[in-house]
Amino acid sequence: MIDFSYTIWILLIPLLVFVVTGLTGNRFKPIVTGIVGTTGLGVVFLLSVFTAYKYFFVIDKVDGAFQRLLAFNYNWLNLTDKLHINIGILLDPISVMMLIVISTVSFMVHIYSLGYMKGEKGFARFFSILSLFSFSMLGLVIATNIFQMYIFWELVGVSSFLLIGFYYERDSAVAASKKAFIVTRFADLGFLIGILLLSYLTGTFDFITLTGPNSPAFTSGQGIMFLGMSTMTWSMLLIFMGGAGKSAMFPLHIWLPDAMEGPTPVSALIHAATMVVAGVYLVARMFPIFHHQESALDIVAWVGGFTSLFAAVIACTQYDIKRVLAYSTMSQIGMMMLALGVSGYGGEEGLGYMASMFHLFTHAFFKALLFLGAGAIIHAVHSNYMNEMGGLRKYLPITHATFLIACLAIAGIPPFAGFFSKDEILVATFHHNKILFAMAYLVAGMTAFYMFRLYFNVFWGKDQHYHHTPHEAPATMTIPLIILAIGSTFAGFIPFTKLVTSDSLPFETHTEWGIAIPAVFIALVGIGIATMLYMKQSENSKKISLALGGFYTAAFNKFYIDQVYLFITKKILFNYVSRPVAWFDRHIVDGTMNQFAYVTNVVSDRIKGFQSGQLQQYALVFVSGVIGLALLFTYLWTN
């Protein structure tokens, strides 16, 4: 048995860095904070890789399955004899995999930010919050129980809020950060109710108990029905609501595109690779319970599938390159949710689960790479809009090469990483539901189309009139790009079926060429259309968008979901709920209190003369009182 207790340092180092740099940030030169943060994350990265190596390859398996290890467990709050909240570190295949994803991407983003954020006001603050985020996200994935997860869940929400609003002098950034916080908080309300319901039904928070073979969650809460579903299903759905909020699933997705107001490295780290997949991770973590609640799992699949298609359509119409990537992220996360939703449990049945985790892993690499590449482009051109770009391949050779690799990876062209994971998702979906498969297949084609639309618009086509000649980013920015490009190229060859599966038992899969070949074909079709329309500057794309008419306009305006929300909140909620409540508060609640205060004030004003400060006056009253009483008692006693 190998001791894993050192893994506590994976959490403590970023926390220490956050506290130290947060408190002393202004005392040192900004670059010192940057280097301290990056070094801290470097150590965390090495520790995570070491842990993963030992976990997957060194320690013994039990009956061929990877063990679930409690590397550290501390009884934090004792609520009742049975119910207690622990803080600890749980190592199992998905949490170890997530450690790798988070520490790698976070480390790369730290290095990248050293170059990207150079000279920015608030450089130290940026690195300090980045460390806080890394700490919270790592804490989220190694949580031993759902309550600990919830705590870190909120912490990542806070760091996301702080980083989206990093340029707090800009109104749009402030609005975006508030939007992100409020929408995810709203979803987290559902999550909290779900947690309470689940723990009420099962009497435990612990993941090992909850998802073990004899979980109380499989038996309890089945009898009581509410709106046609058992309470257990409801608790799962509420928990999924939390996950959907964090993972920007329809209809709680509206915050993610706006979150691109944050600095680009933040978008890469939080809003592409790590935090937004927390919802997927949550469902994967609770998967055995979800699997027992068929209807909940179906909803996960349909929400995932719909979001993925919906976001892909919008992504085809946007011009802001970060927004295209944001919708693409939503679409890919939808694919992961879909894969989880169609998955079974155990062995080859659990293909979808494996595929989802696999896609999460590869997606983290190529999406982080895309965002960091977009950052390098924005850095060079000082614009977010692709119609103000063109012909950049000459000026940014490294960015161009890595961006192309990422595009090929996300489009699912072999041998890049995205091909393998997306193929597994398609296979899993195909065996479950043909309609969902059609949606996923369509999304695969559209993904290729909008990514190459972006690629050709930025790197090909005519040169624009730039203010100054675009230049390649410094080495601190290109090195992470190259490393991530290597990851995006080779991550697909990791044998996930041997490592991360629903029941921790390895199984064999074979590439189903019947699905893989059409998938590559539709990706090539997507790329082909994009090439025809956008490689040379032409009017064809405009003609097509005009031909699509209202549909194009609707997609361009993100299907007016934001407006619907605004209508519901401003027109309906504000007018019919908030205003009456505010009136009641102002006039009834406050009015009562004001009356009390007014009466007290008037009365005390009248009687304050008694408190004259004249000692002899007091004494006179006192003596007269005594004499009065004496006379009274004398009178009473003598009669």
| Nearest residue (CB) to another protein, 214 versus 611 | 611
By the rule CB under 8 A, 600 interacts with another protein: no
| Nearest residue (CB) to another protein, 597 versus 619 | 619
In the set 623, 630, 631, 632, which binds another protein (CB under 8 A)? Answer: 623
Q: Dump the DSSP string for 200-249.
A: HHHS--BHHHHHSTT-GGGTTT-S-EETTEEHHHHHHHHHHHHHHHHTT-
401-414 burial, b for 16+ CB within 10 Å, e for fewer?
ebbbbbbbbbbbbb
By the rule CB under 8 A, 608 interacts with another protein: yes
CB of 188 to another protein, least distance (A): 52
Where does this chain touch another protein (CB under 8 A) — which range of 38-46, 476-484, 578-586, 605-613?
Answer: 605-613
Q: Is 543 exposed, middle or buried (0-12, 13-18, 19+ CB in 10 A)?
A: exposed
| Nearest residue (CB) to another protein, 469 versus 611 | 611
CB of 601 to another protein, least distance (A): 13
| Nearest residue (CB) to another protein, 469 versus 614 | 614
Where does this chain touch another protein (CB under 8 A) — which range of 71-79, 134-142, 533-541, 617-625?
Answer: 617-625
By the rule CB under 8 A, 614 interacts with another protein: yes
| Nearest residue (CB) to another protein, 610 versus 635 | 610
Contacts of 139 (CB under 8 A, 6+ apart): 11, 148, 151, 152, 155
Site string for another protein, 344-383 (x = CB under 8 A): ----------------------------------------
CA dihedral angle for residue 403, residue 409, residue 414, residue 416, rounded to 10 degrees = 80
| Nearest residue (CB) to another protein, 549 versus 613 | 613
Where does this chain touch another protein (CB under 8 A) — which range of 124-132, 362-370, 418-426, 616-624?
Answer: 616-624
Tell me if 177 sits within 8 A of 164, measured CB to CB. yes
Rounded Cα gap, residues 581 and 261, in angstroms: 33
By the rule CB under 8 A, 465 interacts with another protein: no
DSSP H helical ranges for 567-614: 579-583, 590-607
Binding-site size, another protein (CB under 8 A): 10
Site for another protein in 388-447 (CB under 8 A): none
Sign of CA dihedral 73, 75, 77, 83: positive
Q: Please state at what angle helix 146-164 crosses helix 171-202, rounded to 10 degrees.
A: 180
Rounded Cα gap, residues 218 and 230, in angstroms: 12
| Nearest residue (CB) to another protein, 615 versus 636 | 615
By the rule CB under 8 A, 615 interacts with another protein: yes
Could you say which DSSP state residue 385 is in?
A: B
By the rule CB under 8 A, 611 interacts with another protein: yes
Alpha carbon 61 to chain centroid, angstroms: 32
Site for another protein in 269-288 (CB under 8 A): none
Could you say which DSSP state residue 13 is in?
A: H
Q: Is 590 exposed, middle or buried (0-12, 13-18, 19+ CB in 10 A)?
A: exposed
By the rule CB under 8 A, 613 interacts with another protein: yes
By the rule CB under 8 A, 620 interacts with another protein: yes
In the set 612, 629, 631, 633, which binds another protein (CB under 8 A)? Answer: 612
Q: Partners of 226 in the beta sheet?
A: 229
Where does this chain touch another protein (CB under 8 A) — which range of 418-426, 531-539, 570-578, 606-614?
Answer: 606-614
Tokens (6 digits) for 127: 């690195």
Rounded Cα gap, residues 86 and 77, in angstroms: 7
CB of 608 to another protein, least distance (A): 5
**Residue found by looking up tokens 């983003």 in the block:** 109
| Nearest residue (CB) to another protein, 569 versus 604 | 604
Rounded Cα gap, residues 125 and 114, in angstroms: 13
| Nearest residue (CB) to another protein, 80 versus 616 | 616
Chain residues binding another protein by CB under 8 A are 608, 611-616, 619-620, 623
